[in-house]
Amino acid sequence: MKNVTSITSVLLMSLSDDQETIHVLFIFFLLIYLMTVFSNFLIILLVVTCAHLHTPMYFFLGNLAFLDMSYSSVTAPSMLSHLITQHWSISLSECKAQIFFVMYFAGSEPLLLSFMSYDRYVAICRPLHYSQFMSWGTCAEMASLVWSTAFFVCITHIICLRRLTFCGPNLIENFFCDLPHLFQISCTDPTINVLILIIVGVGICTAALVTTFYPYVMIFRAVLRIGT
């Protein structure tokens, strides 16, 4: 068997080599990131401090705001640091950690949206049973299910990465780490990993779409009945 030398770091793609463009991009992305963090933090603060917002709908909205803020914070600060220092190399371990958290927060969002649509369905179509179906215990269980499901899905992908060997080239054609680009620099055949990614991704997206849109279909039907 031929000896291979595993790489310990990866090189992300630079957004630009022009200094003026880099400064413009840095300011632009920094402003967007700060606005994203501030707006979502404000939502969380209002949900926590305002007593009349202590309802299931705003509980889920606060979770969604936390997801958006966290998702942005996984990639934006490191990208801004790379922009200003022009040092685009990160360790392979850091790359895998970034992949985990990007997938974790991004994967949690569609699951959370499906529960938010169910909350609206119960509020509109089953108002007399709303307090029974959407108790605080039920809301906590729903949120826990979202976070735990996303965790186990992401940790599965990270564990599957252990079967891959990365021996170069170490250039990732993106400004942050993600699984498809990491597969491209693998010296081991990543077919199994790709299949797992597709099957799990399609399964979660399909389930999230169905469970998100079906309650709104029922809400629409209920509204039409009221109109007639």
What are the CA-CA distances from residue 96 to residues 83, 102, 170, 196 (Å)? Answer: 20, 10, 14, 17
What is the CATH T-level fold of the domain 9-227, as seen in this structure?
A: Rhopdopsin 7-helix transmembrane proteins (1.20.1070)
Alpha-carbon dihedral of residues 105, 109, 115, 116, nearest 10 degrees?
120
Round to whole Å and give the CA distance between 45 and 88.
Answer: 35
132 vs 8: CA distance, rounded Å: 53
Q: Determine which of 14-18, 111-115, 129-133, 179-183 has the lowest per-residue pLDDT on average.
A: 14-18
Tens-place pLDDT, residues 79-117: 898 888 888 888 888 999 999 999 999 989 999 999 999
Place of tokens 């967007």: 32
Cα–Cα nearest to 104, from 60, 141, 157: 157
Question: Residue 22: what residue type?
Answer: I
pLDDT band at 30 (very low <50, low <70, confident <90, very high): very high
Distance from C-alpha of 39 to C-alpha of 51, rounded to nearest angstrom: 20
Please name the residue that has the structure tokens 């007399």: 128
How far is it, in rounded angstroms, from Cα 115 to Cα 137?
14
Share of the chain above pLDDT 70, in %: 97
Reported as a pLDDT band with limits 50, 70 and 90, residue 1 is very low
